[in-house]
Amino acid sequence: MTTAVIPAPDSGTGGLSVWPASTARLAHGGLAVGGVDLAEAAERFGTPVYVLDEGEVRKRCRAYREAFPEGDVLYAAKAFLSRAMVRWVREEGLGLDVCSAGELELAVTAGFPPDRIVLHGNAKSPRDLGSALRLGVGRIVIDSPSEIARIAAAVGPEGRQKVLVRVVPGISAGGHSKIRTGTDGQQFGLSLADGSALHAVARVLAQPRLELTGLHCHIGSQIAEVKPYLTALRRMVGLMARIRDAHGRVLPELDLGGGHGVAYRPGEPALDVATLARRLRSTLTESCAAARMPLPRLAVEPGRAVVGPAGVAVYRVLSVKHTGDTVFVAVDGGMGDNPRPALYGARYAPRLIGRAPAAGPRAATVVGRHCEAGDVLAAGVDLPGDVRPGDLIALPVAGAYQLSMASGYNMVGRPPVVAVHEGVARLLVRRETPEDLRRRDIGA
């Protein structure tokens, strides 16, 4: 399907270090991912389109399994979920972390074992809990005191549900203030500092229908350093020791959540999974020895770090406008399919694909088609000076928190997802059509 691969300079558009490992330059100036020419994929499936490298997803799943051979690795479904993704994760031996009945039911109907699923959420609906108990999820993470009685009552007199208690360890970490979840003063979890977590543990232990198997924490997202995780681990082991001393209960599980950072642009830092695993094991061994406790089974919940670098978003240029000193390159997608720049100030490294540029790079701002001044996909980035309508622009590291957070703004349908692997492209999620949007509107 692809043309001959040749070495080529980057022509001022940046390196390929953040692209899937299968990415190759093509003789005509294009790029192939998973053996598939991205320009050909754009022609076949239309634009915008999300291209997902199956081999990259599987490789990253295996890297986590190798790094945590004696622990549990749960893929965080909120990053991106589809039936194919469920199958890949299951086949690579990972568990699953879901946040709603929708994610849970899709996973189970796609064949994922419910006992390998953990349900999260700071505000679980009756449907969320009902589906979890009906389908038999492995763990429910208790996020607030009110959930304790709710879950126990829903279990019924003959049942018993395994649960974790989510603890806020008082650690500030993450790439943006809106994704730092380890500090007091936000909606997730129960505080370690004010005693809420310990009090919740006592209440859970008093419920015969609930089996407390361990503690959970999630300190933030897009974290590129190991140190915050080590600090969280020590505080969590300290709480586990207090629970043992107060209640005579040694908890067998410790879930440290996810938030593992990836590089969105060349030169940015990313969390090294092997280093994280090695230092977590060492610190866990030291902390448990000091507390005279057996080692709990460790769990981590990567989402972005598994699927983010495996995805590429491909757009078609609709217009190029020179306004003062700024060159605006408008594409046929935007904040409707990727709200991350508007929400978090996320930055990307877009690249011209499909042809060789005839001009050197110049600064440009890639904007979307939606009616918002904030619909900016990438500001002040280098693109060839001859970029023009009809060209294709690709954004790497587009697999996580883009389509999963997409909206129906301006009634622009959400893009399709196409898997590529060993030279074959296949549709995973079809494009949302105007008919789909109209079908939901049943009023008159």
* Catalytic residue list: 371
Percent of the chain as helix, strand, coil, to the nearest 5: 30, 25, 45
State the Cα–Cα distance between residues 441 and 439, nearest whole angstrom: 5
The helix or strand, by DSSP H or E, that contains position 126, with its residue range, turns out to be: helix 126-135
Choose among 395, 387, 418: nearest CA to 318. Answer: 387
Report DSSP letters for 58-116, one per residue.
HHHHHHHHHH-TTSEEEEEGGG---HHHHHHHHHTT-EEEE-SHHHHHHHHHTT--GGG
The rounded distance, in Å, linking the Cα atoms of 88 and 76 is 13
State which H helix or E strand residue 366 sits in: strand 361-367
Question: Phi and psi at residue 142, in whole multiples of 5°?
Answer: -80, 125
Structure token digits, residue 433:
């059509």
What is the dihedral sign for C-alpha 164, 102, 407, 379? Answer: positive
- Looking at residue 296, its amino acid is P
In sequence order, what are the residues at sequence separation of 6 or more whose Cβ sits closer than 8 angstroms to the Cβ of residue 67? Answer: 273, 274, 276, 277, 278
Specify which residues 219 forms β-bridges with: none
Residue 189 CA to residue 186 CA, distance in Å, equals 8
Asked if 241 and 293 count as a contact pair (C-beta separation under 8 A), the reply is: yes
